[in-house]
Amino acid sequence: MSKQSRYSIQASMALTHEDRLRLHVLLKNVQAIRIDERSLTVRGLAERGEAAVKLNPDVKPELYLKRVREFISAHVTGSPGGYPVYLARWTRMGQAPDDSLANLLMLGEPEAIAAAACAPGLSDELAERLWWVEPTSENARRMLERECVVQGKMGAVLAAHLVEHLPFETEPRVRYETVRLVLQGNLLDEDARLALWQRSARENAYRVAFLFAAADRLPARQPAWTDFAQVAPALATLAAEGNALAALLTKALDGPGQAFVIAAEEALGRLTDRDVAAAAFAAMGNYFRRPGVPGTSALELAACRRATEAQLDSPDFETAAVLAVLPRLRDQLFAVHYLGRVGEATILDFLAHTTASGTVLRKQIQPLAQPVIEQLSRVRS
């Protein structure tokens, strides 16, 4: 007799005869398990609908539910001890093996469900089963980290849930993370995106999420830079020749780019949360960094300025080409080079040495935010 069979027999003997038989049949015919502790019911998701087993405990409910979990674990994994909770941190970090994800959904354990939600191998089909087992906002956020879920039929379902429950989230970090995730792809229609954008006038976490996740398609409308019509043809010619800096300037000086700049100035002026502040600085570098140019791991703002001045004094090929044709854009070139060096690493040291939040953090962070705001204003001046 195999070890798994022995475990299954030992675990089943702790249950009443009726429950043992009905649970055995249930586990043979379902794809996911949910345990309702209040009603003492084990529910299963099958291809044709749901099935349920109403438990009939002969001991205290808490002890009996523990036995039920041991029985289910022995049947699914061959381990009588239930899901190994001591592995929770490891599996929440996305280390659950892909070939065990379906089994995790059969255990009825919250930690097993969390592990599956974090797993890189999660599919849209498994996401649908998981959502049936435990439809929580945290699980929805984790599943929307997977591109296959975003592009699948569950993406819009999870996004709708998160938007509906967003007003009840109290932590700025969670609000930022939620909005960032639901802005992916086409999860929301234009009305929903506009509603979130309008709320971002009061919720800076929303605004920063837009800057990070939807920088090129903000719902805001702004006119292009004053002289954009005069410089656009020359920039287009250079961009067509492969000049990435000219393409970046075109993006920044056109209407959508000016909308980003104005929104970024507003967001940097009202940072009151550490995580949101880090994301705001990261968004600057993401937007203004040229493709193929690596980000700076750690750089103070004073060093950003010195490096940018050196860049214009001894310009690289792309910078020299733009200056040769459009010397009037020197200020904008300076700003773009500077902002491309800004990133999360720029303020990590500051954040590591402060525990402030709210208006206190906003005052403390201004010496770091103001130089970035000044360069943003250069892009639109």
Q: How many CB atoms lie within 10 A of CB 186?
A: 12
- 207 CB-contact burial (10 Å; exposed 0-12 / middle 13-18 / buried 19+): buried
The per-residue pLDDT of the chain, averaged, comes to: 90
Above 50 in pLDDT, residue 1?
Answer: no
Q: What is the pLDDT of residue 89?
A: 45
Q: How many CB atoms lie within 10 A of CB 314?
A: 9
Above 60 in pLDDT, residue 86?
Answer: no
Bridge partners (DSSP) of residue 42 are 35, 53
**For residue 273, which of 336, 368, 365 has the smallest C-alpha distance?**
365
- 151 CB-contact burial (10 Å; exposed 0-12 / middle 13-18 / buried 19+): middle
Q: What is the pLDDT of residue 14?
A: 78
Task: List, in order, residues 6 or more apart from 97 with CB less than 8 Å away.
Answer: 121
- Mean pLDDT, residues 98-112 taken together: 83
Percent of the chain with pLDDT strictly greater than 90: 77
Residue 353 has φ and ψ, to the nearest 5°, of: -115, 20
Q: For 136-171, how does the pLDDT look when each residue is reduced to its tens digit (9 = 90+)?
A: 999 999 999 999 999 999 999 999 999 999 999 999
- Distance between alpha carbon 238 and the CA centroid of its chain, in Å? 35
Q: How many CB atoms lie within 10 A of CB 18?
A: 12
Q: 183, 150 in Cβ contact below 8 A?
A: no
Query: Rounded to whole angstroms, how far apart are CA atoms 258 and 207?
Result: 15
Above 50 in pLDDT, residue 90?
Answer: no
Q: What is the pLDDT of residue 48?
A: 86
Percent of the chain with pLDDT strictly greater than 70: 89
Above 90 in pLDDT, residue 50?
Answer: yes
Q: For 297-306, how does the pLDDT look when each residue is reduced to its tens digit (9 = 90+)?
A: 677 888 889 9
Reported confidence tier of residue 54, pLDDT bands at 50, 70, 90: very high
